[in-house]
Structure 1
Amino acid sequence: MDAKQANPAGYVPDQCVPASEDKQVMNLLRALGIEEIEYHLDGGGDSGDTNLERILYADGREDTHLPELPISFSSRGEIHTLGHYLDDLASNLPEGDWINNEGGSGEVFIRPRADEEDWFECNMTYHDEDDSEDDFEEDDLDDDDDPAAIDPHQHDAVLADGEGAQ
Protein backbone atom coordinates (compact mmCIF):
# COMPACT_ATOMS: atom_id res chain seq x y z
CA MET A 1 0.00 0.00 0.00
CA ASP A 2 1.48 3.33 -0.98
CA ALA A 3 1.20 6.56 1.02
CA LYS A 4 -1.63 7.93 -1.15
CA GLN A 5 -3.84 4.93 -0.39
CA ALA A 6 -3.10 5.07 3.37
CA ASN A 7 -4.15 8.74 3.45
CA PRO A 8 -6.59 9.12 0.58
CA ALA A 9 -8.00 12.48 1.73
CA GLY A 10 -4.52 14.00 1.85
CA TYR A 11 -4.92 14.80 5.56
CA VAL A 12 -1.95 16.66 6.99
CA PRO A 13 -1.87 17.02 10.80
CA ASP A 14 -2.01 20.60 12.08
CA GLN A 15 1.55 21.79 12.49
CA CYS A 16 0.56 24.80 14.65
CA VAL A 17 2.03 25.39 18.06
CA PRO A 18 -0.50 24.20 20.65
CA ALA A 19 -2.42 26.97 22.41
CA SER A 20 -1.29 27.97 25.88
CA GLU A 21 -3.28 26.67 28.84
CA ASP A 22 -4.76 30.14 29.36
CA LYS A 23 -5.85 30.29 25.74
CA GLN A 24 -7.40 26.82 25.93
CA VAL A 25 -9.27 27.73 29.12
CA MET A 26 -10.49 31.00 27.59
CA ASN A 27 -11.79 29.00 24.60
CA LEU A 28 -13.60 26.66 26.99
CA LEU A 29 -15.11 29.58 28.93
CA ARG A 30 -16.33 31.14 25.67
CA ALA A 31 -17.85 27.78 24.65
CA LEU A 32 -19.68 27.70 28.01
CA GLY A 33 -21.10 31.15 27.23
CA ILE A 34 -19.24 32.91 30.06
CA GLU A 35 -18.79 36.65 29.68
CA GLU A 36 -17.05 37.50 32.98
CA ILE A 37 -15.86 35.82 36.17
CA GLU A 38 -15.21 37.88 39.31
CA TYR A 39 -13.03 36.79 42.22
CA HIS A 40 -12.47 38.57 45.53
CA LEU A 41 -9.01 38.23 47.09
CA ASP A 42 -8.24 38.99 50.73
CA GLY A 43 -4.96 38.25 52.42
CA GLY A 44 -2.65 39.08 55.29
CA GLY A 45 -0.30 37.43 57.74
CA ASP A 46 0.68 34.27 55.89
CA SER A 47 -2.61 33.35 54.24
CA GLY A 48 -5.05 34.51 51.64
CA ASP A 49 -8.54 33.67 50.44
CA THR A 50 -9.60 33.56 46.80
CA ASN A 51 -13.40 33.56 46.57
CA LEU A 52 -15.45 33.20 43.42
CA GLU A 53 -17.99 36.02 43.67
CA ARG A 54 -19.88 35.96 40.37
CA ILE A 55 -20.09 34.38 36.93
CA LEU A 56 -21.84 36.44 34.28
CA TYR A 57 -23.03 34.57 31.20
CA ALA A 58 -23.47 36.15 27.77
CA ASP A 59 -27.24 35.63 28.01
CA GLY A 60 -27.38 37.73 31.20
CA ARG A 61 -27.64 34.87 33.72
CA GLU A 62 -25.51 35.07 36.84
CA ASP A 63 -24.20 32.24 38.97
CA THR A 64 -21.71 31.65 41.77
CA HIS A 65 -20.54 28.13 40.84
CA LEU A 66 -18.52 26.94 37.88
CA PRO A 67 -19.35 23.66 36.19
CA GLU A 68 -17.21 20.84 37.67
CA LEU A 69 -15.29 20.11 34.47
CA PRO A 70 -12.01 18.17 34.42
CA ILE A 71 -9.51 19.95 32.17
CA SER A 72 -6.21 18.13 32.77
CA PHE A 73 -4.31 15.62 34.88
CA SER A 74 -1.25 16.13 37.07
CA SER A 75 1.85 14.01 36.62
CA ARG A 76 0.53 11.88 39.52
CA GLY A 77 -2.82 11.33 37.79
CA GLU A 78 -4.83 13.82 39.87
CA ILE A 79 -7.70 15.51 38.04
CA HIS A 80 -7.45 19.28 37.64
CA THR A 81 -10.85 20.95 37.29
CA LEU A 82 -11.79 24.23 35.64
CA GLY A 83 -12.62 25.73 39.05
CA HIS A 84 -9.25 24.83 40.58
CA TYR A 85 -7.42 26.17 37.53
CA LEU A 86 -9.29 29.50 37.67
CA ASP A 87 -8.84 29.81 41.47
CA ASP A 88 -5.07 29.38 41.01
CA LEU A 89 -5.04 31.77 38.06
CA ALA A 90 -6.93 34.47 40.00
CA SER A 91 -4.66 34.16 43.04
CA ASN A 92 -1.51 34.44 40.88
CA LEU A 93 -2.61 37.38 38.69
CA PRO A 94 -1.91 40.26 41.14
CA GLU A 95 1.61 41.61 40.78
CA GLY A 96 2.08 42.48 44.45
CA ASP A 97 2.22 40.26 47.52
CA TRP A 98 -1.39 40.27 48.67
CA ILE A 99 -0.93 37.32 51.06
CA ASN A 100 2.11 37.87 53.31
CA ASN A 101 2.67 40.43 56.05
CA GLU A 102 0.05 43.19 55.91
CA GLY A 103 -1.34 41.70 52.68
CA GLY A 104 -3.96 43.20 50.46
CA SER A 105 -7.40 42.80 49.02
CA GLY A 106 -9.26 43.42 45.82
CA GLU A 107 -10.95 41.91 42.80
CA VAL A 108 -9.79 39.92 39.80
CA PHE A 109 -11.90 39.83 36.65
CA ILE A 110 -11.57 37.20 33.93
CA ARG A 111 -13.19 38.16 30.62
CA PRO A 112 -12.83 35.37 28.04
CA ARG A 113 -14.81 37.22 25.33
CA ALA A 114 -12.55 40.29 25.45
CA ASP A 115 -9.44 40.80 23.35
CA GLU A 116 -6.54 38.69 24.63
CA GLU A 117 -4.76 41.67 26.23
CA ASP A 118 -7.95 42.44 28.20
CA TRP A 119 -8.70 38.90 29.46
CA PHE A 120 -7.55 39.71 32.99
CA GLU A 121 -8.02 42.74 35.23
CA CYS A 122 -6.78 43.13 38.81
CA ASN A 123 -7.93 45.89 41.15
CA MET A 124 -5.88 45.40 44.29
CA THR A 125 -5.13 47.48 47.37
CA TYR A 126 -1.96 46.54 49.20
CA HIS A 127 -1.73 47.25 52.90
CA ASP A 128 1.30 48.73 54.59
CA GLU A 129 2.03 48.20 58.26
CA ASP A 130 1.75 51.99 58.71
CA ASP A 131 -1.84 51.82 57.37
CA SER A 132 -3.25 50.03 60.39
CA GLU A 133 -5.63 52.23 62.38
CA ASP A 134 -6.07 49.53 65.00
CA ASP A 135 -2.49 49.79 66.23
CA PHE A 136 -2.10 51.83 69.40
CA GLU A 137 0.35 52.15 72.23
CA GLU A 138 -0.79 51.35 75.76
CA ASP A 139 0.23 54.91 76.73
CA ASP A 140 -2.33 56.26 74.21
CA LEU A 141 -5.22 55.24 76.47
CA ASP A 142 -6.74 58.13 78.39
CA ASP A 143 -7.43 56.99 81.96
CA ASP A 144 -9.88 59.90 82.46
CA ASP A 145 -12.36 58.22 80.10
CA ASP A 146 -12.43 54.98 82.08
CA PRO A 147 -15.23 54.53 84.63
CA ALA A 148 -14.11 54.40 88.26
CA ALA A 149 -13.37 50.90 89.46
CA ILE A 150 -15.87 49.61 92.03
CA ASP A 151 -14.96 47.09 94.68
CA PRO A 152 -17.88 44.64 94.59
CA HIS A 153 -17.69 44.09 98.38
CA GLN A 154 -17.95 47.81 99.12
CA HIS A 155 -20.73 48.19 96.54
CA ASP A 156 -22.80 45.43 98.23
CA ALA A 157 -22.23 46.99 101.66
CA VAL A 158 -23.36 50.41 100.43
CA LEU A 159 -26.54 48.91 98.99
CA ALA A 160 -27.21 46.98 102.23
CA ASP A 161 -26.96 50.23 104.26
CA GLY A 162 -29.49 51.80 101.93
CA GLU A 163 -27.03 54.31 100.53
CA GLY A 164 -27.18 54.59 96.80
CA ALA A 165 -30.44 52.63 96.66
CA GLN A 166 -33.34 54.44 95.04
Structure 2
Amino acid sequence: MTQKLTFTTASVRNLVISNPTDALYYEVLTPKWESHQTTVRRLDTHANRYDTVGSVRSQSGKPVAVSMYNGEFVNEELWLRKIEGQGRQSRWEFDDGEGNYFSWAVAGSNFELRSLDESGTQSPTPIATFYPHRRHFMVTMVSQQAFLEIESSVVDSLDTVLVSLLVLEQKRRKCSL
Protein backbone atom coordinates (compact mmCIF):
# COMPACT_ATOMS: atom_id res chain seq x y z
CA MET A 1 0.00 0.00 0.00
CA THR A 2 1.34 3.43 -0.89
CA GLN A 3 0.86 6.84 0.66
CA LYS A 4 1.07 10.18 -1.06
CA LEU A 5 2.86 13.03 0.72
CA THR A 6 2.12 16.42 -0.83
CA PHE A 7 4.57 19.35 -0.84
CA THR A 8 2.60 22.57 -0.28
CA THR A 9 4.90 24.93 -2.21
CA ALA A 10 7.49 24.77 -4.97
CA SER A 11 10.16 25.84 -2.46
CA VAL A 12 12.35 23.23 -0.78
CA ARG A 13 13.31 25.64 1.98
CA ASN A 14 9.88 26.67 3.33
CA LEU A 15 7.02 24.21 3.00
CA VAL A 16 4.79 21.63 4.62
CA ILE A 17 4.89 17.97 3.65
CA SER A 18 1.88 15.90 4.65
CA ASN A 19 -0.44 13.07 3.72
CA PRO A 20 -4.20 13.73 3.25
CA THR A 21 -5.06 12.91 6.89
CA ASP A 22 -2.08 14.85 8.34
CA ALA A 23 -1.00 11.73 10.24
CA LEU A 24 2.40 12.32 8.61
CA TYR A 25 3.10 16.04 8.86
CA TYR A 26 6.47 17.76 8.41
CA GLU A 27 7.35 21.45 8.42
CA VAL A 28 10.44 22.69 6.58
CA LEU A 29 11.60 26.15 7.68
CA THR A 30 14.40 28.50 6.64
CA PRO A 31 14.00 31.76 8.56
CA LYS A 32 15.24 35.00 6.99
CA TRP A 33 17.51 35.73 9.95
CA GLU A 34 19.12 32.27 9.58
CA SER A 35 18.99 31.79 5.81
CA HIS A 36 21.94 29.38 5.84
CA GLN A 37 20.08 26.72 7.85
CA THR A 38 16.95 24.78 6.97
CA THR A 39 15.19 22.86 9.76
CA VAL A 40 12.86 19.88 9.26
CA ARG A 41 10.34 19.29 12.03
CA ARG A 42 7.80 16.47 12.40
CA LEU A 43 4.46 17.00 14.14
CA ASP A 44 3.94 14.53 16.98
CA THR A 45 0.15 14.34 16.97
CA HIS A 46 -0.03 12.48 20.30
CA ALA A 47 1.99 15.08 22.23
CA ASN A 48 0.76 17.97 20.02
CA ARG A 49 4.28 19.36 19.48
CA TYR A 50 6.97 19.52 16.81
CA ASP A 51 10.16 17.45 17.03
CA THR A 52 13.23 18.52 15.08
CA VAL A 53 14.31 15.61 12.90
CA GLY A 54 16.97 17.24 10.74
CA SER A 55 18.85 20.38 9.79
CA VAL A 56 20.65 21.28 6.58
CA ARG A 57 23.31 23.99 6.46
CA SER A 58 23.78 25.72 3.13
CA GLN A 59 26.40 27.95 1.61
CA SER A 60 25.45 29.99 -1.48
CA GLY A 61 22.25 27.93 -1.68
CA LYS A 62 24.07 24.57 -1.85
CA PRO A 63 23.79 22.11 1.05
CA VAL A 64 27.11 21.58 2.84
CA ALA A 65 26.26 19.81 6.14
CA VAL A 66 23.46 17.71 7.63
CA SER A 67 22.44 17.04 11.22
CA MET A 68 19.86 14.44 12.25
CA TYR A 69 17.96 14.61 15.56
CA ASN A 70 19.98 17.59 16.89
CA GLY A 71 23.25 15.65 16.53
CA GLU A 72 26.55 16.91 15.18
CA PHE A 73 26.66 18.32 11.67
CA VAL A 74 28.24 15.96 9.14
CA ASN A 75 29.61 16.94 5.75
CA GLU A 76 26.79 16.49 3.25
CA GLU A 77 28.98 14.49 0.84
CA LEU A 78 29.83 11.98 3.59
CA TRP A 79 26.22 11.68 4.74
CA LEU A 80 24.76 11.35 1.22
CA ARG A 81 27.43 9.47 -0.72
CA LYS A 82 27.46 9.85 -4.50
CA ILE A 83 28.12 6.63 -6.41
CA GLU A 84 29.24 7.38 -9.95
CA GLY A 85 27.55 5.39 -12.65
CA GLN A 86 27.89 5.14 -16.40
CA GLY A 87 26.86 8.32 -18.17
CA ARG A 88 24.40 10.20 -15.99
CA GLN A 89 23.34 7.11 -14.02
CA SER A 90 24.76 8.23 -10.67
CA ARG A 91 23.01 7.45 -7.41
CA TRP A 92 23.21 8.73 -3.85
CA GLU A 93 23.37 6.31 -0.93
CA PHE A 94 22.62 6.96 2.74
CA ASP A 95 21.55 5.09 5.85
CA ASP A 96 18.83 5.94 8.35
CA GLY A 97 21.03 5.33 11.40
CA GLU A 98 19.17 2.12 12.25
CA GLY A 99 20.87 -0.25 9.83
CA ASN A 100 18.68 0.41 6.79
CA TYR A 101 20.42 1.54 3.60
CA PHE A 102 18.82 3.41 0.72
CA SER A 103 19.73 4.78 -2.67
CA TRP A 104 18.22 7.71 -4.62
CA ALA A 105 18.55 7.74 -8.42
CA VAL A 106 17.23 10.04 -11.13
CA ALA A 107 14.49 8.51 -13.29
CA GLY A 108 13.49 11.05 -15.93
CA SER A 109 12.40 14.14 -14.00
CA ASN A 110 11.72 12.10 -10.85
CA PHE A 111 13.82 10.71 -8.03
CA GLU A 112 13.38 7.03 -7.16
CA LEU A 113 14.34 5.53 -3.81
CA ARG A 114 15.37 1.89 -3.55
CA SER A 115 16.44 -0.10 -0.53
CA LEU A 116 19.88 -1.72 -0.44
CA ASP A 117 20.74 -5.10 1.03
CA GLU A 118 23.97 -5.99 2.88
CA SER A 119 25.85 -6.56 -0.39
CA GLY A 120 24.78 -3.15 -1.77
CA THR A 121 22.31 -4.58 -4.28
CA GLN A 122 19.31 -2.38 -4.98
CA SER A 123 15.74 -3.60 -4.68
CA PRO A 124 14.21 -4.29 -8.11
CA THR A 125 11.35 -1.81 -7.65
CA PRO A 126 11.38 1.66 -6.09
CA ILE A 127 9.97 2.00 -2.58
CA ALA A 128 9.41 5.75 -3.01
CA THR A 129 9.16 8.12 -5.97
CA PHE A 130 9.38 11.91 -5.86
CA TYR A 131 7.43 13.79 -8.52
CA PRO A 132 8.53 17.46 -8.72
CA HIS A 133 6.04 20.27 -9.24
CA ARG A 134 4.95 21.15 -12.75
CA ARG A 135 4.18 24.56 -14.19
CA HIS A 136 1.93 25.69 -17.03
CA PHE A 137 4.24 26.24 -20.03
CA MET A 138 7.25 25.79 -17.68
CA VAL A 139 7.07 29.39 -16.36
CA THR A 140 3.63 30.32 -15.02
CA MET A 141 1.56 29.03 -12.12
CA VAL A 142 2.12 25.57 -10.66
CA SER A 143 -0.20 23.07 -12.37
CA GLN A 144 0.75 20.10 -10.18
CA GLN A 145 2.13 20.20 -6.65
CA ALA A 146 5.21 18.12 -5.93
CA PHE A 147 4.55 14.88 -4.09
CA LEU A 148 6.33 11.85 -2.73
CA GLU A 149 4.70 8.45 -3.14
CA ILE A 150 5.98 6.00 -0.53
CA GLU A 151 5.50 2.33 0.28
CA SER A 152 4.49 1.50 3.86
CA SER A 153 7.98 0.04 4.49
CA VAL A 154 9.48 3.55 4.21
CA VAL A 155 7.44 5.13 7.03
CA ASP A 156 9.86 4.00 9.76
CA SER A 157 12.76 5.76 7.99
CA LEU A 158 10.74 8.70 6.66
CA ASP A 159 12.64 11.37 8.64
CA THR A 160 15.95 10.49 7.01
CA VAL A 161 14.37 9.90 3.61
CA LEU A 162 12.79 13.37 3.58
CA VAL A 163 15.97 15.15 4.68
CA SER A 164 17.98 13.32 2.00
CA LEU A 165 15.36 14.22 -0.62
CA LEU A 166 15.46 17.90 0.35
CA VAL A 167 19.27 17.89 0.08
CA LEU A 168 19.13 16.28 -3.37
CA GLU A 169 16.42 18.62 -4.61
CA GLN A 170 18.43 21.66 -3.41
CA LYS A 171 21.43 20.30 -5.29
CA ARG A 172 19.37 19.65 -8.41
CA ARG A 173 18.04 23.21 -8.39
CA LYS A 174 21.59 24.57 -8.07
CA CYS A 175 22.65 22.30 -10.97
CA SER A 176 25.26 20.59 -8.85
CA LEU A 177 24.14 16.95 -9.08
TM-score band w.r.t. shorter chain: under 0.3
Larger strand fraction of residues: 2
TM superposition score normalised by structure 1: 0.24
Q: Which has the larger radius of gyration?
A: 1
TM superposition score normalised by structure 2: 0.23
Larger helix fraction of residues: 1
